Each structure stands twice: as C-alpha cells, then as structure tokens.
Structure 1
Amino acid sequence: MNSQNDDQPAQRKANIFTGFLLFLVSIVLFITTTPLGFIYGIGYTLVTHFFKGLGGFFLEIAISIDQLGNVIMQHLLNMLWLKKGGYKFGNRDETISSVLGKNKVQNTLTGFGKFIVKILDTIDSNHVLDSIDYYVEPKN
C-alpha cells in the first residue's frame, strides 16, 4: 500500500540529479520571467477586458500558487491538518482548498485544519466546499 489514498497512485520515480536540475532551472526561469509576464498580463487584461478582467487574472494566479503550495507543503499539511486516513495533500493538479473541502466532508481534519477552514470560509463563504475538485487528475 502506498502513502497516498487508494485513488492516488504512487508518484513516478525520478532520478535525483535530473529532478534537482529541473527544479533549479524552474526557479531561475520563474524569478527571471514572472515579473515581466505579470506586468504584461495586467496590461493585456486592462486593454482587452478593462478592470473587470483583472479579477479573473488574479484568481488564476492564486489557484496556480495554491496548487504549488499543495505540492511543496504536502508533508507538513498532511501532518498538521489531517487525521489518519484523510485525503492527502500533494497532488499537483489540486488546490489546498479542494483537499481541505474533501477532508471536511470526510470529517478527517484536525483541530488546526478546522481552524484554517474557518478562516477561509470567513473570507469566502463556503470556500472549501465550493473549491472541491471532483475531476482531479490522479497523482502519478
């Protein structure tokens, strides 16, 4: 049995050198290209959709950052926010909010996890339940 839920296959094995090298390249590209892409994206959105398009642009960025956090912090979040047997964090195709929502439904959140859900649901009513993604690509 793997460390993920039964519906989440074990992660593909990768050579440590290749994985680390690709990680470093991705960090360099992110640092050097993100500011330009962000500024251009805001300008493009303002020209094509005016201010009403900015909300969607910012939401897309927030979702992508959320997915990154789900992967980077998976081990810590699984330990701090989930009871044993909970639906695990770590799928690169899913947001932290979606995982929290699934665990809220399954009642597998720790007290700390419930506290985080309360904060998110205060900011955006029913946030974690509305964020549940039922069509997540399996982790592989």
Structure 2
Amino acid sequence: MIQEKKASAPNQKVSPFIGLLLFVISIVLVVLTTPLGFVYGLFHNLFAKGFSGLGEYLLQIAISIDQLGNVVMQHLLNMLWIQKGGYRFGNRDETISSVIGKNKQLNTLTWFGKNMDRILEFIEADHSLNSIDYYVQPSE
C-alpha cells in the first residue's frame, strides 16, 4: 500500500480533555520507556557504526529536545527574545536555533535574544544562521 507523505500537519482544534489525556500518557511513556530506549540506542549505534554513529544518535536526540523546547517555551521566548512582528517560536517542527537565526536575519531579536545568539556563536560560528530550516511549514 502506498501512503502519501504530508509535509506538515496543520494545528488542529482539540478539546482540553483530549489534550490533557494525551499529555499525561506521553509523560508516562517518556518516563517509563526513554531510559531503556536510550541505553539500547547507545549500544546499538556504538556497535553498528562506532563513535560517529553514537554522535549522530546523540545529535538526533538533541535536535528533538530543542524542538520540544521551541514548543514548551514558545510564550516565554516570544516575549523575551523577539520584538513584536518577529518570526515567532512555537512550531513543533523547528529548532530554537532556527527561529533565532530567522529573527537575526529580520533584525528582530531583543537584547536577550541577541545575547543567546552570542552564546551560540561562541559554541559554533554562525550557528543560528546555519540552523535555519527553510523547509519548515509556518504554524498558524
């Protein structure tokens, strides 16, 4: 069976009860399954691909956590790190660094946002600009 791939699912209206129920289930599953999956993934990648495979695996996890932070902290980051009219945080398919990079290009970073960009620059030159994901569908 051939299934059509979706580029990005639009945000849907969800009842508060369903949202809360799915949130609680996801937290329970993360707490119970992540340690086992993480340890297994470490050994699997280490033995299958060596240290480079381990690095790839850890980078994938870091990007996923970054995307989670973009959603969880969107209201705070929108208030503190970008000026009104800037490109907003909150898209579940995008990293925090990508949003910082887009706002850097738009010159809409606040003092806090510029300082976070400087910290990222210290770690890796042009990190936020290199992290821009041009293929992310804007969320509503």
Same fold (TM > 0.5):
yes
Aligned residue in 2 for 1:34 = 34
Shift of 1:52: 1.6
3-state SS of 2:138 partner: coil
Shift of 1:54: 1.1
Name the aligned partner's letter for residue 121 of structure 1.
E
Please list the CA deviations of residues 57-116 of structure 1 after superposition, one character each: whole Å capped at 9, or x if unmatched: 111000000000000000000000000100000000000000000000000000110000
Residue 110 in 1 paired to residue 71 in 2? no
Aligned residue in 2 for 1:122 = 122
Please list the CA deviations of residues 4-30 of structure 1 after superposition, one character each: whole Å capped at 9, or x if unmatched: xxxxxx842110000000000000000
Distance in structure 2 (CA, Å) of the matches to 1:138 and 1:76: 19
Distance in structure 2 (CA, Å) of the matches to 1:137 and 1:31: 30
Name the aligned partner's letter for residue 134 of structure 1.
Y
3-state SS of 1:38 partner: helix
Name the aligned partner's letter for residue 28 of structure 2.
V
Name the aligned partner's letter for residue 76 of structure 1.
L
3-state SS of 1:18 partner: helix
Give the total of aligned pairs: 131
Q: Structure 1: 5+ residue runs without aligned partners?
A: 1-9
Name the aligned partner's letter for residue 64 of structure 1.
S
The TM-score with structure 2 as length reference comes to 0.91
Aligned residue in 1 for 2:17 = 17
Residue 47 in 1 paired to residue 47 in 2? yes
Distance in structure 2 (CA, Å) of the matches to 1:118 and 1:52: 28
Q: CA RMSD in A?
A: 1.1
3-state SS of 2:13 partner: coil
Aligned residue in 2 for 1:77 = 77
Identity %: 63
Name the aligned partner's letter for residue 18 of structure 2.
T
Distance in structure 2 (CA, Å) of the matches to 1:87 and 1:109: 9
Distance in structure 2 (CA, Å) of the matches to 1:38 and 1:26: 16
Shift of 1:125: 1.2
